[in-house]
A and B are shown apart, each in its own frame.
Chain A
Amino acid sequence: MSLSLDEVRHIAKLARLELAGGDLDATQAKLNGIFGLIEEMQAVNTDGVEPMSHPQDLAQRLREDRVAESDRRAAYQSVAPQTEAGLYLVPKVIE
């Protein structure tokens, strides 16, 4: 398989990555090289094989529903690009 430039643009949009015009061709070529390698998978018959999502097939642990974390908002927000009055600031999303 081979990705078209439009497909590369579409994936970049889904991934929220701005690809500059000049980078697009180079990205397409490298992605197609990688997918060439990945395609080798398709030659193998895997009918009836159970997919393995994880090295340990363990059930998720549950814990008691109680507060376990302390309030560290100030420390966590100290690394944010922009905050005000305890809120994260982003461009306006609702007119």
Chain B
Amino acid sequence: MIDSSLKDIAAALRDRKVSAVELATESLARIDAGNPKINAFVTVDRDGALAAARAADERLAAGNGGPLTGIPLAHKDVFCTEGVLTTCGSKMLSNFVSPYDAHVVSLLKAAGTVMVGKANMDEFAMGSSNENSHFGPTRNPWNTDKVPGGSSGGSAAAVAARMVPIATGTDTGGSIRQPAALCGITGIKPTYGRVSRYGMIAYASSLDQGGAFGRSADDCAVLLSAMAGHDPRDSTSLEQGPEDFGRECTPAKAQPLAGLRIGLPKEFFAEGMSDDVRAAVDAAIAEYRKLGATIVEVSLPNTRLAIPAYYVIAPAEASSNLSRFDGVRYGHRAAEYGDLNDMYCKSRAQGFGGEVQRRILVGTYVLSHGYYDAYYIKAQKLRRLIANDFAAAFTQCDVIAGPVSPSVAFGIGEKSDDPVQMYLSDIYTIAVNLAGLPALSHPAGFGTGGLPVGLQLIGNYFGEARLLGTAHQFQQATDWHRQTPAGF
């Protein structure tokens, strides 16, 4: 049943052909069978899931179910879940049982979803491979020697392995889109401010944005519609009411995308993409042309500056956000220490992994006396230029298309000792976060070694429904999103 579309599962629940308890049991059984191979979960909440499923069944029996009532899901372990371990992939929070729910978690509980567990992730969402987790790397279900991408690697792998039909994630520099691409599923990061950051453990606050993973764009639309909305507890939450992001996911017809202008940024296609990714991306664009879309060339001239700008802004914000982990109020405290300062220094050195420490150090440096203008302000000026590039491009097209990742999933250990190589793989995703735009990744075929390739669609501000509707038309004409890795 978990292999079905969300709408089919919801219909079966509503018609009482399957119960929420049966679905939760199926999901837990798949986790039991598959998780030893891919390590997608940090925590499995069996009792909580069955209790939530029983409550969902009561709601459904009373005729009060919604589109997500009784649907099993995984939350990325960055979201605080009351009474359930919330680690953020870090030793620092390896003992943190959250005393409250994130806004997203509250909304999805109210919608009647059944959380089966917390998904593995790069520590504090810093990484592109999931290798930075304190709880060991998640493995790609398509080939367990490969990374699933990151930082939401556990969420993406759990959906790809059909342990759950949907999962939450967060995207600060590509952390939803890149793992969605590498695991062969669909994932969307909405416009900055759509999804409340309350209770979403902060990495880089001006870039962090929650979003959705599912098999298809249609499934992502259902989940995102339930996650988004104004929350006064997040000062950057947009003051917008509920929205049906699936409203453009309309039935198939001839030339469904007639009139849609898809822009291809020439800088994305100039160099850097591996041949197999290029072939799949080109074929997907040809398919869009067949669906009636017009393809135009656009330019994002400052694309290459997105990586240096991001790796100033994100570490700067991280160094400030992560100063809260001091071994006093929550999280890890060193067993032995001298004075207060020594307690801070030892607790933080023991609690944070290597990549997190490096980003804190970079951020501390760029914000320190005498360097602020040369780095942080400079990066913010580049951020403006990058956002302006998109604004200019969107005068010529409705949606921008391109690759998500320069290559298919790479090997575990292949780049883990070279942060700069790892950062360079974010080239196609990072500019979107700097500008705050919505973007999704959908399956677009397979490359070397039978590993999935994703296509990225970038929309203008508040263009989620258009993006999801566009991807939905592609998915009605193709079946890449229906492929399942062998053994799952």
Other-chain contact of A46, B239, B308, B327, B378 (Cβ < 8 Å): B378
Contact: A8 with B361, CB < 8 Å? yes
Q: Which residues, 314 to 368 on B, are CB-close (under 8 Å) to A?
A: 319, 323, 326-333, 337-346, 348-349, 352, 357-358, 360-362, 364-366, 368
A15 and B323 CA atoms in complex are apart in Å by 8
Contact: A80 with B385, CB < 8 Å? no
Interface size class of B (residues with CB under 8 A): 35 or more
- Segment among B7-15, B230-238, B258-266 that sits at the interface with chain A: B230-238
Contact: A46 with B381, CB < 8 Å? yes
A3 and B365 CA atoms in complex are apart in Å by 10
Contact: B364 with A14, CB < 8 Å? yes
Interface 1/0 per residue, A37-74 and B, CB below 8 Å: 11111101010011111111010110100000000100
A37 and B314 CA atoms in complex are apart in Å by 14
Contact: B193 with A56, CB < 8 Å? yes
Residue B97 interfacial (CB < 8 Å):
yes
For B99, B239, B326, B424, the residue with the greatest tally of chain A CB atoms inside 10 Å of its CB is B99
Given A36-B420, A41-B305, the answer on whether A55 and B206 have CB atoms closer than 8 Å is: yes
Residue A85 interfacial (CB < 8 Å):
no
Which residues of A sit under 8 angstroms from B330, Cβ to Cβ? 79-81
Residue B134 interfacial (CB < 8 Å):
no
Contact: A18 with B345, CB < 8 Å? yes
Residue B72 interfacial (CB < 8 Å):
no
Q: Which residues, 233 to 292 on B, are CB-close (under 8 Å) to A?
A: 235-236, 238-239
Residue of B nearest to A88 (CB): B328
Given A33-B419, A37-B307, A93-B340, the answer on whether A53 and B436 have CB atoms closer than 8 Å is: no
Contact: A51 with B377, CB < 8 Å? yes
Contact: A49 with B384, CB < 8 Å? yes
Q: Which residues, 95 to 120 on B, are CB-close (under 8 Å) to A?
A: 95-100
A7 and B362 CA atoms in complex are apart in Å by 12
- How close is B345's CB to chain A, nearest CB, in angstroms? 4
Residue B18 interfacial (CB < 8 Å):
no
Given A31-B358, A55-B206, the answer on whether A14 and B340 have CB atoms closer than 8 Å is: no
Contact: B382 with A38, CB < 8 Å? no
Residue of A nearest to B378 (CB): A41
Contact: B305 with A91, CB < 8 Å? no
Interface size class of A (residues with CB under 8 A): 35 or more
Residue B73 interfacial (CB < 8 Å):
no
Residue of B nearest to A83 (CB): B329
Contact: B337 with A15, CB < 8 Å? no
Residue of B nearest to A48 (CB): B381
- How close is A88's CB to chain B, nearest CB, in angstroms? 5
Residue of A nearest to B387 (CB): A52
Which residues of B sit under 8 angstroms from A41, Cβ to Cβ? 305, 308-309, 312, 375, 378-379, 382
A16 and B339 CA atoms in complex are apart in Å by 13
Which residues of A sit under 8 angstroms from B377, Cβ to Cβ? 51
Which residues of B sit under 8 angstroms from A82, Cβ to Cβ? 333
Contact: A12 with B361, CB < 8 Å? yes
Given A56-B236, A63-B232, the answer on whether A17 and B343 have CB atoms closer than 8 Å is: no
Contact: B378 with A78, CB < 8 Å? no
Other-chain contact of B364, A11, A75, A79 (Cβ < 8 Å): A11
- How close is A74's CB to chain B, nearest CB, in angstroms? 9
Other-chain contact of A51, B193, B329, B368, B381 (Cβ < 8 Å): B381
Other-chain contact of A81, B98, B192, B327, B344 (Cβ < 8 Å): B327
Which residues of A sit under 8 angstroms from B381, Cβ to Cβ? 46, 49-52
A3 and B304 CA atoms in complex are apart in Å by 24
Which residues of B sit under 8 angstroms from A42, Cβ to Cβ? 374, 378
For B95, B383, B424, the residue with the greatest tally of chain A CB atoms inside 10 Å of its CB is B383
Which residues of B sit under 8 angstroms from A36, Cβ to Cβ? 420
Given A16-B344, A55-B435, the answer on whether A46 and B385 have CB atoms closer than 8 Å is: yes
Residue of B nearest to A8 (CB): B361
Sample (28) of A-B pairs whose CB atoms are under 8 Å apart? A8-B361, A15-B319, A16-B326, A16-B345, A17-B349, A20-B349, A27-B357, A33-B418, A33-B420, A34-B358, A37-B307, A39-B308, A40-B304, A40-B305, A40-B307, A41-B378, A44-B382, A46-B382, A46-B385, A49-B384, A49-B385, A50-B384, A52-B387, A55-B435, A61-B239, A79-B330, A81-B332, A81-B333
* Smallest CB-CB A-B distances: 8 pairs: A55-B436, A51-B380, A81-B333, A46-B381, A18-B345, A52-B384, A55-B192, A18-B349
Interface residues of A (CB under 8 A from B): 3, 7-8, 11-12, 14-20, 27, 30-31, 33-42, 44, 46, 49-56, 58, 60-61, 63, 72, 75-76, 78-82, 88, 90-91, 93
Q: Known pairs A55-B436, A88-B329. 7 more at Cβ < 8 A?
A: A27-B361, A34-B423, A53-B380, A54-B236, A56-B192, A79-B96, A91-B339
